[in-house]
Structure 1
Amino acid sequence: MAKNRKVIGQKQQTGQVRIIAGQFRGRKLPVIMADGLRPTTDRVKETVFNWLMPYLYNVKCLDCFAGSGSLGFEALSRGVRSTQFYELNAIAAKQIQDNIQLLKASNAKINKGSCLALLEKEQQEFDLVFIDPPFRKGFVGQTAELLESKQLLADEAVIYIEVESELADLQLPVNWQLLKEKVSGQVAYRLYQRT
């Protein structure tokens, strides 16, 4: 009996994300549906990547709090030079690794661990960063501060942030200029450029 429950539970915890455009267009990648993991919806992702169109070619991308890896894989598909994924959840991190192998994406790498701890050790500079953490944990401000203090952003880096729509006071570096902003239900999503 317990075995059946476990199998049923595992079935309920899997899903998929679709790559919208680019080299891997139409590919569906399996994802683990765990607590706190919210893959960005196709509608939001489409808007975001329309915003990002001028900034994608041949850049180094970091997907913080990667979860399903949906944003990082979409960026890979659309021509970034490389994507690095950070993910704390071991099962989600393994799924990202499996999806990297599935796509034969030699320019992608998964780092398992806390985003803040991984940023402390990071050495390279990024041109594009996705910050889409679990809601209501205060991670955005801390992540932004580390990216700046550790000098991990290129001069005109572009930063995408997804937060809960009710979050009124978001503390970000003064040199991050808001380019685009939209709210969709419980999600506010914004694009910044470092100046």
Structure 2
Amino acid sequence: MDIDGLRPTTDRVKETLFNWIMFDVAGANVLDCFAGSGALAFEALSRGANQLTMLELSNSAANQLKQNLASLNVTNDVQCQIITTDSQKYLANPATQQYDLIFIDPPFRKNLLTPCCELLSHNNWLAANAFIYVEHEKELTSFTPPENWQLLKSQSAGQSCYHLYQYQPQ
């Protein structure tokens, strides 16, 4: 997908992430907050996710995601939706459902990470014990996750840092 500003998660990072969560994807309800190329969401789908919601601001990226989804011949047992929207505006609403696995990989240097994480927690989008994957630029040093997110794993590669958290309801 050749869309300006799109920075898909590398295969190496994706492999590490799915090794971390390999036993928790099957049957999961998945939310990809900044879908982009859809690499993470489609990987979750291929590993047995039950439901998939992808949020994407770019019309052209969302249209490409829809074409890619159509080519996958997903069975009727799996619900997939691609929503062309601003993630923060979408997540500012009360949750319409809760998710077991959340991907947060916003465009770098746009100050979207912290507000997105806060909205997910405050508006009840996270299922009990949900896993939250966060990817951000290495130079970002000011990110502090919500208090009830427990850090499970953390690594860096290239220009990115990536972390796996688990939501601990209070």
Which residue of structure 1 lines up, in the alignment, with residue 92 of structure 2?
120
Code of the residue aligned with 1:154 in structure 2: it is A
Q: What is the CA–CA distance in structure 1 between the aligned matches of 2:49 and 2:125, rounded to whole Å?
A: 17
TM-superposed deviation, 1:33 = 1.8
Number of equivalenced pairs? 164
Q: What is the CA–CA distance in structure 2 between the aligned matches of 1:36 and 1:155, rounded to whole Å?
A: 33
Q: What is the CA–CA distance in structure 2 between the aligned matches of 1:145 and 1:188, rounded to whole Å?
A: 19
Give the CA RMSD over aligned residues: 1.0
Displaced runs of 4 or more, over 6 A: none
Q: What is the CA–CA distance in structure 2 between the aligned matches of 1:34 and 1:97, rounded to whole Å?
A: 15
Query: What TM-score do you get using the length of structure 2 for normalisation?
Result: 0.93
Which residue, out of 138, 144, 158, partners 1:185?
A: 158
Structure 1 gap ranges (5+): 1-31
Query: What TM-score do you get using the length of structure 1 for normalisation?
Result: 0.81
Provide the identity percentage.
48
Q: What is the CA–CA distance in structure 2 between the aligned matches of 1:119 and 1:174, rounded to whole Å?
A: 18
TM-superposed deviation, 1:55 = 1.4
Q: What is the CA–CA distance in structure 1 between the aligned matches of 2:87 and 2:43, rounded to whole Å?
A: 20
Q: What is the CA–CA distance in structure 1 between the aligned matches of 2:146 and 2:12, rounded to whole Å?
A: 28
Which structure would you say has the larger Rg?
Answer: 1
- For residues 49-81 of structure 1, give each alpha carbon's deviation from its aligned partner in whole angstroms, at most 9, with x where no partner exists: 001112112010001110000000000000111
Code of the residue aligned with 2:68 in structure 1: it is N
Q: Do structure 1's residue 108 and structure 2's residue 85 form an aligned pair?
A: no
Secondary structure of residue in 2 paired with 1:188: strand
Q: Do structure 1's residue 37 and structure 2's residue 10 form an aligned pair?
A: no
- For residues 11-64 of structure 1, give each alpha carbon's deviation from its aligned partner in whole angstroms, at most 9, with x where no partner exists: xxxxxxxxxxxxxxxxxxxxx222221111111110110011121120100011
Code of the residue aligned with 1:111 in structure 2: it is I
Q: What is the CA–CA distance in structure 1 between the aligned matches of 2:15 and 2:9, rounded to whole Å?
A: 10
TM-superposed deviation, 1:171 = 2.4
Secondary structure of residue in 1 paired with 2:21: helix
Code of the residue aligned with 1:186 in structure 2: it is Q
Which structure: greater helix fraction?
1
